[in-house]
Each structure stands twice: as structure tokens, then as C-alpha cells.
């Protein structure tokens, strides 16, 4: 059985990172040139890591499945990126950002990592500004900020509703500079299908060239996964369609522990499902809750047009239930409150599965221009999708699968349980506990990539300077490639009738119904059984047209769906063992009298890190106990 060592440094919380960093071993510039690093993923985490490592002088190979690194899912991030700059003089600080994140995550994250993420947040903003990211500015020219859920300060830096896109363009420009300098070699349209381990260390990957279909071997002295989240396990989600679990899952099957897989965030403000043919849901950024007010009618089944429902007949239920934070309660709280109102019969729209997000008061108070300046592109997007102009009538919103707090377990160095395999950004189990606060992901991804990993990986690589180039004709590479080839042929040989997407859709529904916003033991067990049944059908009736030595998007999808069956089962398993409610993980059996999440700190203040034991075999669970020395652990209240 594997042993967990989180490697949290000793010393006062605020000094841990600087002291630890000073103790890390270095690799000299002459030796860096001899060391190769694979970075899989070019979102904010991967692009920042690859460019920072390239700038340091390492030889980097960067991979993504898109045609350009710029199209990584990070491009979709809308609302903003947090930092503890305290520009608004509203008493913000690194400690307060740390505290809000620990509390927002319902006391299920590691203190030391969270403090470090808050600490480097200010460097991240300075760095992006230096790269030319056009953050919004206030009248005097200083960077402007706004608020996000779960906080009472204004610490979110933003570029209209396109913060991810603008930051990614910044990170991409530094990546491109390294590509031009020759320190980074870019491999786009590559799908990582396996990790190669040589003598216990991560030494390379097997990829499929998505244009030619060829399998390729790539070697390095260390491998970094920055492959994003797996919220697409629900099929309908706010994520990019290509987002998937497969790279992390393949590493898991090779020995990397997977932590808190059931901690998956349901975002409260997505455009609701409009018909049965949708393959994607579109997010309306949480930033909109700075000015938008959330409400439903006080009358059950009210089918009146929202503008015909008078003020006194509206229930601003978030302001009513959570006066201290109002519309800016954290996502898990807002999502459950919306579901509760809709389930009780007060939901809006034909399906009754939506609530209103209304800007009338903000437009009356600040004028249409001010609202347009802050959220113009989001309003346009809403109108394009729904045909409704949100300047004239409220948006309709409903919760949707969004972000995975769970992911590969990493220690303080961001290294997984496989030596030489690192995981950064959304692909690791990260700093967000059981619920991520808005705008904290871009902060973490960029902090991991620019300022943390480039230091910690050096300590590992200091032992590799005498290793020499890693040959790809070694047995472990041959075996890994053979395994991938056989797997692909197994898919191609099924010859059934149904598309990979049709299975994904059904799988997503099972996960949403049984391991979604509310969970109970019986439903979770049922979910596992249904996944097993559907998986059997998948292996009998999947149809992949064409062949595997050409562009074949059906094959690409099928490979991902096959992994989602296993991910889904592990999510259910994890949710079953966690006999408490915390953050986004809400067990019906564990709630307070007022329907809020009821944590059990005595028995469940740990990270659950799972070890793979084979297909359909019961995985082993390892516990990393969480110690809270710098915050008082108490019931989370936003009232």
C-alpha cells in the first residue's frame, strides 16, 4: 500500500513557502539545458509552466489536443482572477484570501498550500499586467476589481467577461516566445493516451497524433500534467466539449493516487437546459451576481412574464436567507438554494427549472452603459443563445456541472505519488477543498505554473543531471505503446450501432441524477450499478466509423467516454464513504434543520486519496488528515 507524505514544511504559516523555497536545490543553467520536461496541457496552468520552464533554460515539450495552445479550455473563463492586492483598501490581505478559501472550501483543503496560493496571487497579477493583459482599470488608471461569491471584499481582477481569454493570450505570448527561442517544442493535436514509467519514475508519454492517427513515444526527465478538469463527466456542463479526465486517469491507473474525486462544483448561474439536443451549457459568470439580483415568484407555478410579477410578489431568496452575503453567497450554497426553490415548485420558465437573475435595479441605479461596460459580452452571449435581451428582462439561470476540486493527489511540491510526475492547475486536487470560490482557479493555475512548479521541479531534477537522454526504445515505452494500440483495436473491433456521444449523454444523466447536487447512499449505489450496466452495453454496441490511422473524432470521444465510466464509479465510491455534507458534496442524510450542509469534522477532516486496483476492483482509500492550526474550524455560515 502506498504511503502519503504531503511534505508540508515546518515553521510559521506565512514563512513556510519562502523558507522552503530557499532550501530547495537548484539546477545550474548549464545542466538545465540537458534536462527535458514534458508539459501536457496549454491552458493557464500548462502554458504558464511551459513558458516559465523554457525561460529557465530547460528543454520543454508541450502538448495539447487542440490545433492551437490558445484554444485550451482556460480561454472560456469569464469573470476574473483573484489576488490579495487590497487596492480597494477594503481590509483585504493574504491572510483574508487564505481564510476565505479555506472557509469557502468547507475546511477540506490543506492550509499550507492554500496560504501559498494566496501569497503568490499578487505576483500573478503583476506578471500578467507586465505581459500586457488588458485588465479593467478604474478612473484613475489603477487596476479595477470586483467581488465574487463567498467574500466581502473586492479582490477580483477582470477583463470584462473575458478574463480567461485575455490571460491565456498573455500566457500564450510568453509560450510562443519560448517556442521561437527553441526552448519549448510545441506538439498540438496530440492526445496523451498513456504515461510511461521507467524504474519507478515518470519518463514519458504515449500520444496519438490526431491528424495522422500515428502513435508516438516522447521521453523526458519529468512529466507535468496540466490537463484540466473532468466536469464533462456530466455530459452537459459549462466546460469546453473536449475537456476530459483521460490523461489524469491514465496516470491514476499507473499508480498516481486520485484525491476527492466526488468534490465537483455545480455552478449556480448557467443558462438552463433548453432542449434535448444540447451538448453543452453556457455559463453566465458569477461576476454578474455583483449587480444582478436572484429571485423567483412567491407564487407556486407562476407562469406570468417576469416583468409582470410585481416587486412585492418576488422572493429574493438569497438576500432573504443569507443577508450577510446576499446574492454573493458561494456557489454550492447558491446552487442548492436554486434547486430547493425549483423543487418546491417556484421555478421559472416552462420546465420550472430556472430562477431569474435580474439587472433592472442595477441599470436604474448606474445606467445601462455602466452595466454594458462591465458585462457587455455576457449579455450579448445570453441574447444570442436565448433570443432574450437581458437589458429589458431578467436572465433565466440554473445550476450546471462546472469545476472539479478533486483530481490527482499532489504533495507540497505539486508532485503526484509517482516520482517525476507533477500535476498542476485544475488537474490536481488542488487548493479548493470541497468547494472552489469564484476566480480562485485562474489564480491557482497561474500561480502553480509561473511561480510554484518552476521552483519545486528543480529540486527533483537536481538528481537527474547525470541521467542523460531518456531513450524511447526501452521496454516500458514499447509496452505502453503496445497497450495503447491494443486498446484502440479493441474499440475499432466492436462494430456496434451507437455513437460514443449517445453513451456519454446517458452516462452524464446517471451521474447528474445519482452523484450530482444532492446525493444519498441508496442513489449512489444505484448510480454505480447503472454505470456498470451502461458500460457493458458500451463495449458491445459502440460504433466507430472510419479507421484509426486518420482523423477520427469518434475514436477520440470513445476513448474518453470509456474512462468516464471508471471516473464516475470512483466518484460514487468517494461520495458513499464520505458520510457527511461539505461544500459541493451534499449528502441528504447529513443536513442541518434548515437544510444546510452538515460537516463531520471529527470523522471526515481528511483528503481521500484513492489507489487504483484494476477495472471494477474495489480501490484502496488512503487518508491524508487535515490539520487546522491557523483558522478556527467552525460551521460555515453566510447568514
Catalytic residues: 331
Tell me, letter by letter, the H, E, C secondary structure of 21-74: HHHCCCCCHHHHCCCEEEEECCCHHHHHHHHHHHHHCCEEEEECCCCCHHHCHH
User: Among residues 306 and 407, whose Cβ is nearest to ligand FAD?
Assistant: 407
Smallest separation (angstroms) from ligand FAD to the CB of 495: 25
- Verify binding: residue 64, ligand FAD, rule CB under 6 A: yes
Nearer to ligand FAD, 117 or 283 (CB): 283
Q: How far is the CB of 320 from ligand FAD (least distance, A)?
A: 27
Fill in the per-residue mask, 553 to 592: x = in contact with ligand FAD (CB under 6 A), - = not in contact. ----------------------------------------
Q: How far apart are CA 433 and CA 455, in angstroms?
A: 24
- Judged by beta carbon, residue 212 or residue 603, the one nearer ligand FAD is 212
Using an 8 Å Cβ cutoff, are 580 and 599 in contact? Answer: yes
Among residues 52, 54, 70, 79, which is the contact residue for ligand FAD, using CB under 6 A? 79
CB of residue 97 to ligand FAD, shortest distance in Å:
13
Per-residue x/- track, 428-447, ligand FAD (CB under 6 A): -----------xxxx--x--
Total residues at interface with ligand FAD (CB under 6 A)? 47
Q: Which of 120, 38, 121, 111 is nearest to 80 (CA)?
A: 121
Minimum CB–partner distance for residue 457 and ligand FAD (Å): 16
Binding mask 274-303 for ligand FAD (x = CB under 6 A): ---------x-x------------------
CB 234 within 8 A of CB 399: no
Question: Does residue 397 interact with ligand FAD by CB under 6 A?
Answer: no
Q: Are 146 and 152 in contact (CB under 8 A)?
A: no
Long-range contacts from 5-11, C-beta under 8 angstroms, 24+ separation? 5/411, 6/110, 6/411, 6/412, 6/624, 7/411, 7/412, 7/413, 8/110, 8/112, 8/113, 8/412, 9/112, 9/412
Does the footprint of ligand FAD cover residue 110 (CB under 6 A)?
A: no
DSSP label at residue 624? E
Candidates 133, 134, 135, 99; CA nearest to 117 is 99
Pairing mode of beta strands 293-297, 314-315: antiparallel
Binds ligand FAD by CB under 6 A, chosen from 53, 202, 247, 381: 247
510 touches ligand FAD by CB under 6 A: no
Rounded Cα distance, 525 and 197, in Å = 34
Contact call for residue 223 and ligand FAD (CB under 6 A): no
Q: Which residues neighbour 482 within 8 Å (Cβ) at sequence distance 6 or greater?
A: none
What sign for the dihedral angle of Cα 567, 273, 238, 598? negative
Taking the C-alpha atoms of residue 109 and residue 131, their distance in angstroms, rounded to an integer, is 31
Applying CB under 6 A, does 335 fall inside the site for ligand FAD?
Answer: no
Indicate which single residue of 50, 153, 197, 226 sits in contact with ligand FAD (rule: CB under 6 A). 226
Asked if 150 touches ligand FAD (CB under 6 A), the answer is no
Q: Which stretch binds ligand FAD (CB under 6 A): 292-300, 342-350, 421-429, 614-622?
A: 421-429
Indicate whether 163 belongs to the interface with ligand FAD (CB under 6 A).
yes
44 binds ligand FAD (CB under 6 A): yes
- Pick from 165, 244, 297, 354 the residue near ligand FAD by CB under 6 A: 244
- Nearest approach, Cβ of residue 29 and ligand FAD (Å): 27
Q: Does 246 bind ligand FAD (CB under 6 A)?
A: yes
Nearest residue to ligand FAD by CB is 43
The residues that bridge with 396 in the sheet, in sequence order, are 356
Give the neighbor-by-neighbor strand order of the sheet with 184-187.
184-187, 59-63, 36-40, 222-225, 421-423
Q: How far is the CB of 32 from ligand FAD (least distance, A)?
A: 23
Pick between residue 563 and residue 573 the one whose CB is nearest to ligand FAD: 563
Alpha-carbon Rg for the chain in angstroms: 24
User: Whose Cβ is closer to ligand FAD: residue 38's or residue 338's?
Assistant: 38
Q: Are 492 and 555 in contact (CB under 8 A)?
A: yes
Interacting residue with ligand FAD among 332, 426, 481, 580 (CB under 6 A): 426
Q: Are 265 and 328 in contact (CB under 8 A)?
A: no
Contact pick of 238, 262, 456, 581 for ligand FAD (by CB under 6 A): 238
For residue 32, the tally of other CB atoms under 10 A from its CB is 19
Among 402, 528, 557, 587, binds ligand FAD (CB under 6 A): 402
3-state secondary structure 302-371: CCCCHHHCCHHHEECHHHHHCCCCHHHCCHHHHHHHHHHHHHCCCCCCCCCCCEEEECHHHHHHHCHHHH
How many CA atoms within 13 Å lie on the side-chain side of 116?
26
Query: Is 223 or 544 the residue whose CB approaches ligand FAD more closely?
Result: 223
| 227 touches ligand FAD by CB under 6 A | yes
Q: Does 619 contact ligand FAD by CB under 6 A? A: no
By beta-carbon proximity to ligand FAD, the closer residue of 190 and 506 is 190
Give whichever of 185 and 526 is closer to ligand FAD, judged by the CB atom. Answer: 185
Cross-strand pairs, 218: 205
* Closer residue to ligand FAD in complex, CB, 448/580: 448
Across 10-29, b (16+ Cβ under 10 Å) vs e yields: eeebeebbeebeeeeeebee
Indicate the residue among 92 and 191 with the shorter CB distance to ligand FAD.
191
Backbone angles phi, psi at 125, to 5 degrees: -65, -45
Q: Are 535 and 558 in contact (CB under 8 A)?
A: no
Q: Which residues bind ligand FAD (CB under 6 A)?
A: 40-46, 63-66, 72-74, 76-81, 163-164, 190-192, 226-229, 238-239, 243-244, 246-247, 283, 285, 402-403, 425-427, 439-442, 445
Amino acid at each position: 500500500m502506498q504511503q502519503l507524505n504531503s511534505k508540508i514544511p515546518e515553521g510559521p504559516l506565512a514563512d513556510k513557502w519562502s523558507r522552503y523555497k530557499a532550501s530547495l536545490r537548484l539546477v545550474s543553467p548549464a545542466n538545465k539545458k540537458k534536462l527535458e520536461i514534458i508539459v501536457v496541457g496549454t491552458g493557464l496552468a500548462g502554458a504558464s509552466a511551459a513558458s516559465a520552464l523554457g525561460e529557465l533554460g530547460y528543454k520543454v515539450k508541450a502538448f495539447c489536443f487542440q490545433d492551437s495552445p490558445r484554444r485550451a479550455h482556460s480561454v472560456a473563463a469569464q469573470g476574473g482572477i483573484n489576488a490579495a492586492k487590497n487596492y480597494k483598501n477594503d481590509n483585504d490581505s493574504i491572510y483574508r484570501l487564505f481564510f476565505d478559501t479555506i472557509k469557502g472550501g468547507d475546511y477540506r483543503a490543506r492550509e499550507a498550500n492554500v496560504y501559498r496560493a494566496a501569497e503568490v496571487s499578487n505576483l500573478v497579477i503583476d506578471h500578467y499586467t507586465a505581459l500586457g493583459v488588458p485588465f479593467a482599470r478604474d478612473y484613475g488608471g489603477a487596476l479595477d476589481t470586483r467581488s465574487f461569491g463567498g467574500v466581502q471584499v473586492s479582490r477580483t481582477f477582470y477583463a470584462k467577461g473575458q478574463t480567461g481569454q485575455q490571460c491565456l493570450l498573455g500566457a500564450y505570448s510568453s509560450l510562443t516566445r519560448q517556442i521561437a527561442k527553441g526552448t519549448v517544442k510545441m506538439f498540438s493535436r496530440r492526445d496523451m493516451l498513456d504515461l510511461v514509467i521507467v524504474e519507478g519514475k515518470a519518463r514519458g508519454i504515449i500520444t496519438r497524433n490526431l491528424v495522422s492517427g500515428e502513435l508516438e513515444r516522447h521521453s523526458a526527465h519529468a512529466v507535468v500534467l496540466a490537463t484540466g478538469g473532468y466536469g464533462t463527466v456530466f455530459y452537459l456542463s459549462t466546460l469546453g466539449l473536449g475537456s476530459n479526465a483521460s490523461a489524469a486517469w491514465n496516470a491514476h491507473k499507473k499508480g498516481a493516487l486520485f484525491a476527492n474525486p466526488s468534490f465537483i462544483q455545480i455552478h449556480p448561474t448557467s443558462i438552463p437546459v433548453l432542449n434535448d439536443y444540447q451538448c453543452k451549457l453556457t455559463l453566465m459568470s458569477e461576476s454578474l451576481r455583483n449587480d444582478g439580483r436572484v429571485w423567483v415568484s412567491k407564487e407556486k407555478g407562476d407562469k406570468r412574464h417576469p416583468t409582470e410579477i410585481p416587486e412585492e410578489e418576488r422572493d429574493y431568496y438569497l438576500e432573504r436567507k443569507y443577508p450577510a452575503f446576499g446574492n454573493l453567497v458561494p456557489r454550492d450554497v447558491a446552487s442548492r438554494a436554486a434547486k430547493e426553490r425549483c423543487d418546491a415548485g417556484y421555478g421559472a420558465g416552462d420546465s420550472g427549472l430556472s430562477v431569474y437573475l435580474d439587472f433592472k435595479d442595477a441599470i436604474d441605479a448606474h445606467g445601462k452603459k455602466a452595466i454594458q461596460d462591465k458585462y457587455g459580452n455576457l449579455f450579448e452571449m445570453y441574447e444570442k443563445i436565448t433570443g432574450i435581451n437581458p437589458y429589458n428582462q431578467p436572465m433565466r439561470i440554473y445550476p450546471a456541472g462546472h469545476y472539479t476540486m478533486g483530481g490527482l493527489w499532489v504533495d507540497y511540491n505539486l508532485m503526484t505519488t509517482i516520482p517525476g510526475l507533477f500535476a498542476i492547475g485544475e488537474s490536481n486536487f488542488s487548493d479548493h477543498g470541497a468547494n472552489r470560490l469564484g476566480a480562485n482557479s485562474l489564480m491557482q493555475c497561474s500561480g502553480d505554473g509561473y511561480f510554484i512548479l518552476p521552483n519545486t521541479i528543480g529540486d527533483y531534477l537536481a538528481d537527474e543531471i547525470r541521467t542523460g537522454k531518456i531513450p524511447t526504445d526501452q521496454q516500458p515505452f514499447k509496452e505502453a505503446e503496445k497497450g495503447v494500440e491494443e486498446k484502440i483495436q479493441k474499440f475499432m473491433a466492436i462494430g456496434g450501432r451507437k455513437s460514443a456521444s449517445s453513451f456519454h449523454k446517458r452516462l452524464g444523466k446517471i451521474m447528474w441524477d445519482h452523484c450530482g447536487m444532492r446525493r444519498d447512499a441508496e442513489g449512489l449505489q444505484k448510480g454505480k450499478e447503472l454505470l456498470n450496466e451502461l458500460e457493458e452495453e458500451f463495449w458491445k454496441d459502440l460504433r466507430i466509423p472510419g479507421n484509426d490511422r486518420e482523423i477520427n473524432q469518434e475514436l477520440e470521444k470513445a476513448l474518453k467516454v470509456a474512462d468516464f465510466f471508471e471516473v464516475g464509479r470512483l466518484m460514487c465510491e468517494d461520495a458513499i464513504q464520505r458520510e457527511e455534507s461539505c461544500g459541493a458534496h451534499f449528502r441528504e442524510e447529513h443536513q442541518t434543520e434548515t437544510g444546510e450542509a452538515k460537516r463531520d469534522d471529527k470523522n471526515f477532516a481528511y483528503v481521500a486519496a484513492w489507489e487504483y486496483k484494476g477495472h471494477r476492483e474495489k480501490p484502496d482509500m488512503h487518508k491524508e488528515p487535515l490539520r487546522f492550526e491557523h483558522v478556527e474550524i467552525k460551521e460555515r455560515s453566510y447568514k
